[in-house]
Amino acid sequence: MAIQHELPSYLRPLETGPWGDYLEQIDRVTPHLGPLARWVETLKRPKRILIVDVPIERDDGTIAHFEGYRVQHNTSRGPGKGGVRFHQDVSLSEVMALAAWMTVKNAAVNVPYGGAKGGIRVNPKTLSHAEVQRMTRRYTSEINIIIGPNKDIPAPDVNTNEQIMAWMMDTYSMNQGSTASGVVTGKPISLGGSLGRHEATGRGVFVVGAEAVKRLGKDLKGMRIAVQGFGNVGGIAARLFSEAGAKIVAVQDHAATLINEAGLDIHALQNHVRHHGSIAGFAAEELKDQAAFWELDCDILIPAALEQQITPANAHKIRAKLIIEGANGPTVPAADDILHEKGVLIVPDVIANAGGVTVSYFEWVQDFSSFFWTEDEINQRLTRIMQEAFAAVWQLAEEKKVSLRTAAFIVGCTRVLRAREMRGLYP
Ligand X SMILES: O=C(O)CCC(=O)C(=O)O
H-type alpha helices, 247-321: 266-276, 312-315
- Closest distance to ligand NAI from the beta carbon of 341 (Å): 25
**Cα atoms in the Cβ-side hemisphere of radius 13 Å centred on 390:** 27
113-172: which residues touch ligand NAI (CB under 6 A)?
Answer: 156-159
Please, which residue, 79 or 234, has the CB nearer to ligand NAI?
234
H, E, C per residue of 60-127: CCCEEEEEEEEEEEECCCCCEEEEEEEECCCCHHHHHHHHHHHHHHHHHCCCCCCEEEEEEECCHHHC
Residues 353-412 that bind ligand NAI (CB under 6 A): 353, 356
Q: Counting beta carbons within 10 angstroms of the beta carbon of residue 243, is it exposed (0 to 12), middle (13 to 18) or buried (19 or more)?
A: exposed
Site for ligand NAI in 234-273 (CB under 6 A): 234, 252-254
Choosing from 81, 117, 187, 247, which is the catalytic residue?
Answer: 117
Cα–Cα distance measured from residue 228 to residue 158, given in angstroms and rounded to the nearest whole number? 13
Cβ proximity to ligand NAI: between 122 and 306 the closer is 306
Instruction: Phi first, then psi: give them for residue 57, nearest 5 degrees.
Output: -90, 125
Smallest gap from Cβ 81 to ligand X, in A, equals 5
- Binding partner at 326 among ligand NAI, ligand X, none, C-beta below 5 to 8 Å by kind: ligand NAI
* Residue 82 touches which member of ligand NAI, ligand X, none, C-beta under 5-8 Å by kind: ligand X
Indicate the residue among 33 and 120 with the shorter CB distance to ligand X: 120
- Choose among ligand X, ligand NAI, none what residue 9 binds, the Cβ cut-off being 5 to 8 Å by kind: none
Q: Are strands 80-87 and 152-156 parallel, antiparallel or unpaired?
A: parallel
What does DSSP assign to residue 158? T
Residue 117 is a catalytic residue: yes
For ligand NAI, the binding residue among 71, 284, 301, 327 (CB under 6 A) is 327
The residue nearest ligand X at its CB is 83
Q: Residue 383: name the closest of 209, 139, 131, 132 by CA.
A: 209
Per CB under 6 A, residues contacting ligand NAI are: 156-159, 201, 228-234, 252-254, 278, 304-306, 326-328, 353, 356
- Active-site positions? 117
